[in-house]
Amino acid sequence: MAQWTIQQYLMKGDIALDATCGNGHDTLFLAQTVGENGHVFAFDIQEAACKSTKSLLQENAISDNVSIFNQSHDSLLQYIPPKFHKNIVAIMFNLGYLPQSDKTVRTSAVTTCAALEQSCILLKKGGIITIAVYVGHDGGKQEMDAIQSFVKHLPTQDFAIAHLSYPYTSFPAPELYIIHKRGT
C-alpha cells in the first residue's frame, strides 16, 4: 500500500529517500520509479543492510542513481546535500527490524521522530512521506504512539495526514501513516 501510494506521486527524474533501506526492496522500487535521471538516497544503521541493498541494486543493474549511507536517519539533513533539501518528492519509512536478523536492532521512537521532523523539511511541496509501523514487537506500540503525537502536531495548513490500519486481523498488522505536504 505504501508503494502504491508513492506511485501516485513519484515520477521519472524525481528525487526520493528510503529512510530504512533494510534488504533494499523499497530502495529498488524507488530507484526503478525515478529512473536513471532521478536519484534515491538510502539510509540504514546496519552495515549488513546497506550491503544487502547494494547487492539487490547490482542484481537489477542499478547503481548510478542511488546513494547509500550507513548512518542513522536522524542525521538526514547532515548527509543529504543542501541542493536537494525541499526537493524530495517521496520519503519511505518501513520501521522495525531487519527480517531474519537481530530483533534488538530496530527503529525507536526518539530517532524516528527526529528523522520525521527532518523529512518534513526535506520534502518538496506536493510530496509525501509514508510510514509503515509495526506494533507487534517490543517498543512498537511506543513508537506508534510517538508517531501519532508527531503527526497530530503538524500544522494543518501545511500538511494533510492519512492513517490506514487493518483492524480485522488475528495478529497485529502494520499500520500506515501518510504525510502529504500541501502546495505545488
Ligand X SMILES: C[S@@+](CC[C@H](N)C(=O)[O-])C[C@H]1O[C@@H](n2cnc3c(N)ncnc32)[C@H](O)[C@@H]1O
Ramachandran angles phi, psi of 144, nearest 5°: -65, -40
Q: Which is nearer to ligand X, 57 or 151 (CB)?
A: 57
Q: Which stretch binds ligand X (CB under 6 A): 4-12, 41-49, 60-68, 149-157?
A: 41-49
CB 142, CB 109: distance < 8 Å: yes
Beta strands of the chain (E only): which ranges? 15-18, 39-43, 66-69, 88-94, 123-133, 159-164, 175-181
Q: Which is nearer to ligand X, 17 or 21 (CB)?
A: 21
Q: Taking the complex as a whole, how short is the minimal distance between the CB of residue 32 and ligand X, in angstroms? A: 13
Backbone angles phi, psi at 148, to 5 degrees: -60, -45
Instruction: Please state the closest distance from residue 184 (CB atom) to ligand X, in A.
Output: 29
Identified binder of ligand X from the candidate list 26, 109, 119, 150, rule CB under 6 A: 26
49 binds ligand X (CB under 6 A): yes
CB of 56 to ligand X, least distance (A): 8
Is 72 a binder of ligand X (CB under 6 A)? yes
Return the C-alpha cell found at 119: 523529512
* 82 contacts: CB under 8 Å, gap ≥ 6: none
- In the shown chain, the binding pattern of residues 98 to 137 toward ligand X, with x for contact by CB under 6 A and - for none, equals x------xxx---x--------------------------
Residue keyed to cell 518501513? 94
